[in-house]
Amino acid sequence: MGVVLTIRESSHGLWCICSGPEILFDRLHFAHAIRLGRGLAREEHDSSGSAACVEMVCSEFNIPLVQYADTAGVRAASVA
């Protein structure tokens, strides 16, 4: 997998977008965090051609939100 962005609950009911341990954006409302995360993954995929995905991370489970993969040179998106 190329780029994996995670959306995690931050402080005071707000959310953050992370790439590995690094916080890219913090103090976002839930819907904005999802839209921004999906947009960042799409931009990364479009500019580099590498696979990119966004997951929402909870304490008990992860929910995949979108995955961009290069399938035989054709852009493919899978949205949950």
* pLDDT tens profile 6-46: 999 998 889 999 999 999 999 999 999 999 999 999 999 99
Under DSSP, the state recorded for 72 is T
Domain coordinates in residue numbering, the chain: 3-79
First-to-last C-alpha distance (Å) of the chain: 17
Q: Which residues pair with 79 in a beta bridge?
A: 66
What stretch of H or E contains 43?
Answer: helix 30-48
Q: What residue type is assigned to position 75 of the chain?
A: R
> Is residue 72 scored above 50 in pLDDT?
no
Query: Does the CA dihedral 77-54-20-42 come out positive or negative?
Result: positive
